[in-house]
Amino acid sequence: MNDAAPAAAPLAPCAAHDERSRGRRHPEPRPELRGEFQRDRDRIIHSNAFRRLVYKTQVFVNHEGDLYRTRITHSIEVAQIARSAAIALRLNEALTEAICLAHDLGHTPFGHAGQDALNECMRDYGGFEHNLQSLRVVDELEERYAEFSGLNLTFECREGILKHCSVHHARELGELGERFLKRQQPGLEAQIANLADEIAYNNHDVDDGLRAQLLTVEALRASRMFRRQHEAVAARYPDLSERRLVHEIIRRMINHIVLDLIRTTQSRLAQAKPASIEEVRALSKPLAALSDECREEHLELKELLREQVYRHYKVLRMTAKARRVVHELFDAFFKDVTLMPPEHREQALKAEAANSNTGRARTVADYIAGMTDRYAILEHRRLFEPSERT
């Protein structure tokens, strides 16, 4: 990226500026020798939920192989992509990184299968959305600080973490939910993090899909973006092994999309000329975007992955198993909270006293959502296998 601005360039006026942050829920003195958003990022890295991402998966269950992405490597890849774009666009790099590292903190075990199952379990009790859960983790569930629950992050970081939200929940979230009711935007750092998430998972699912032999290079050539890079790499390096060929293609695809994101966003910024983050928020459409052509090709690749990888019978078997585990754990704990470890049981009884079944269900969902894949499997075995130790 030769045309990238140097990291030391001053922030763009429309970036998130430390001194103009909308602040934290519990006021705190400003940090010494680091910025507000650096403090956010540091708190996220030290959280329990962040460490658990090591053993939570996206598509492939963690014990299938050591080389597949987990939520933590995914989050780091998202942060890498978004930081490159943020630096080039003179946005706040620390805030961008913080949002990326936190964006999946509320994910259940077993990727989307786990989240769908938990949402079904919670249907009568307010549902389960992983974005809202990420917010719940940083606002309430982490227990690390003497003076408050959660991580007490800045408004800008919390706004970025809450990527989607139903209107129903938005109404309960006060100023953080407002933008979903007014159809406004989050800051640019959040918009970049959001796109970086899609870029990262599309590309690494190509890599993981090939490694798991759910996909072939030949099948991937149905994607224009893949085919173009495949032809360029094969012409220039005719004797490359398949492994290197694939990595070189993916590297080039990511570079192509990230450059497109930066250039397209640059030209939209040049047109809209937002003078502050408030002006970015007030727009009806996001400013960060891919060009029409790149977006279409990216969607084409996503569709191909859906057909070939996410609907592969081996993946569907895994997701069916995962759903069953989550449903059975929920039913067992909801019926009898005394089966949960003491601290979760105490919380469930307290929540039930305050908010009857809805409160009890939420604490069971919090306990399950916090589990890693292997912990969920182990808990399931402890509950249902007579020969397993409890």
Q: Which stretch, 190-198, 304-312, 317-325, 335-343, contacts Mg ion (CB under 5 A)?
A: 190-198
Query: Closest CB to Mg ion among 189 and 197?
Result: 197
Residue closer to Mg ion, measured from CB, 274 or 370: 370
| 298-302 long-range Cβ contacts below 8 angstroms, 24+ apart | 298/198, 298/199, 298/202, 298/225, 298/257, 300/223, 300/224, 300/225, 301/202, 301/206, 301/223, 301/225, 301/226, 302/198, 302/202
Residue carrying the six token digits 């400003």: 30
Give residue number: closest CB to Mg ion. Answer: 197
Q: Which stretch binds Mg ion (CB under 5 A): 189-197, 330-338, 360-368, 382-390?
A: 189-197
In the complex, the smallest distance separating the C-beta of residue 72 from Mg ion, rounded to whole angstroms, is 11
Beta-sheet strands, E only, within 238-361: none
354: number of Cβ within 10 Å: 10
The CB density around residue 216, as the number of other CB atoms within 10 Å, is 12
b/e per residue, 312-333, with b = 16+ CB within 10 A?
A: beebeebbeebbebbebbbebb
Query: What is the 3-state secondary structure of 102-121?
Result: HCCCCCCCCHHHHHHHHHHH
Cβ 131 to Mg ion shortest distance, Å: 10
Q: Which two tokens stand for residue 290?
A: 């891919």
Q: CA dist 188 to 10, 109, 195, 288, Å?
A: 16, 30, 11, 7
SS3 breakdown of the chain: % helix, strand, coil, rounded to 5?
65, 0, 30
Distance CA 286, CA 384 (A): 48
Q: Which stretch binds Mg ion (CB under 5 A): 22-30, 97-105, 304-312, 354-362?
A: 97-105
Q: How many residues bind Mg ion (CB under 5 A)?
A: 2
Beta partners for residue 57, in sequence order: 70
| CB of 201 or CB of 334, closer to Mg ion | 201
Least distance CB 148 / Mg ion (angstroms)? 27
* Residue 187 beta carbon to Mg ion: minimum distance, rounded to whole angstroms: 18
Q: Smallest distance, Å, CB 197 to Mg ion?
A: 4
Select 35 or 186, whichever has its Cβ closest to Mg ion. 186
Quote the least distance from Cβ 115 to Mg ion, whole Å.
Answer: 12
- The residue (of 129 and 197) whose beta carbon lies closer to Mg ion is 197
Stretch that binds Mg ion, among 96-104, 159-167, 188-196, 260-268 (CB under 5 A): 96-104
For residues 42 and 64, give the distance between their C-alpha atoms in angstroms, rounded to a whole number: 31
Range 101-130, binding Mg ion (CB under 5 A): 104
Single out the segment in contact with Mg ion by CB under 5 A; choices: 197-205, 264-272, 282-290, 359-367: 197-205
Burial class of residue 235, CB neighbours in 10 A (0-12, 13-18, 19+): exposed
Quick check: 205 binds Mg ion (CB under 5 A)? no
Smallest distance from the beta carbon of 75 to Mg ion, in angstroms?
7
Nearer to Mg ion, 104 or 208 (CB): 104
Q: Is the dihedral of CA 189, 190, 193, 198 positive or negative?
A: negative
The answer to whether residue 197 forms part of the interface with Mg ion (CB under 5 A) is yes
Beta carbon nearer to Mg ion, 78 or 329: 78
Shortest Å, Cβ 56 to Mg ion: 11
**Residue (197 or 248) nearer to Mg ion, CB:** 197
Q: Would you tell me which residues interact with Mg ion (CB under 5 A)?
A: 104, 197
